[in-house]
């Protein structure tokens, strides 16, 4: 498990891995589909944060709004942390392959398999 340095104490601590349950619940809090881009995550966060911000809530619902905004902030942190830790491949072969629609790529690979080695 990777280690991370605590900014306040300077001590190395074990970095917690994000599990599927956390990611799925964060996705549901922000009301996202199972597939979402970083832009969609940001837009969902802004929409939900605007709706439940304590300054915009009535005094009767203030406790509910404070709890919801904490959940929304935590969900955004989980999803953006998961997405920023993802490693992307910028190798020419991977970029070319990912530029095709998945169906097109599978069709071309099946048809031209052995003829063109770059696919």
Range of the domain at 115: 90-119
Q: Is 24 a residue whose pLDDT tops 60? A: yes
110 with 96, same domain: the answer is: yes
pLDDT computed for residue 66 by the predictor:
94
Domain count, the chain: 2
- Averaged pLDDT, 86-99: 66
Q: Whole-prediction pTM value? A: 0.62
53 and 71 share one domain: yes
Sorting pLDDT into bands at 50, 70 and 90, what band is 12? very low
Average pLDDT, the chain: 77
Report d(CA 70, CA 52) in Å as an integer.
Answer: 10
DSSP 27-50: HHHTT--SS--HHHHHHHHHHHHH
Question: What whole-number percentage of the chain has pLDDT above 70?
Answer: 60
Q: What sign does the dihedral 28-32-33-34 (CA atoms) show?
A: negative
Match 């009767």 to its residue by tokens.
60
Residues 100 and 65 in one domain: no
| Residues 79 and 23 both lie in one domain | yes
Q: Is 5 helix (H, G, I), strand (E, B) or coil?
A: strand
Note the pLDDT tens digit of each residue in 95-106. 666 665 555 656
Question: How many other CB atoms are there within 10 angstroms of residue 42's CB atom?
Answer: 15
Helix (H) or strand (E) holding 92: helix 92-99
Same domain, 26 and 77: yes
In whole angstroms, what is the distance from residue 90 CA to residue 27 CA? 27
62 and 12 belong to one structural domain: yes
Give yes or no: residues 19 and 72 share one domain: yes
pLDDT band at 3 (very low <50, low <70, confident <90, very high): very low
| 25: CB partners within 8 A, 6+ apart | 75
Residues 97 and 115 placed together within one structural domain of the fold: yes
**What is the per-residue pLDDT across 49-84, written as a single tens digit (0 to 9) for each?**
999 998 988 888 899 999 999 999 999 999 988 887
* The pLDDT value given to residue 2: 45
Which domain CATH number covers 17?
1.10.287.110
């Amino acid at each position: 498990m990777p280690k991370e340095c605590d900014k306040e104490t300077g001590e190395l601590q074990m970095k917690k891995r994000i599990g599927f349950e956390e990611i799925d619940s964060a996705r549901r809090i922000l009301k996202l589909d199972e597939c979402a881009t970083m832009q969609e995550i940001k837009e969902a966060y802004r929409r939900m944060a605007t709706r439940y911000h304590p300054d915009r809530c009535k005094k009767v619902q203030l406790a509910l709004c404070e709890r919801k905004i904490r959940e929304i902030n935590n969900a955004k942190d989980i999803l953006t942390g998961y997405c920023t830790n993802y490693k992307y491949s910028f190798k020419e072969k991977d970029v070319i392959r990912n530029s095709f629609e998945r169906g097109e790529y599978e069709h071309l690979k099946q048809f031209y398999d052995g003829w063109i080695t770059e696919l």
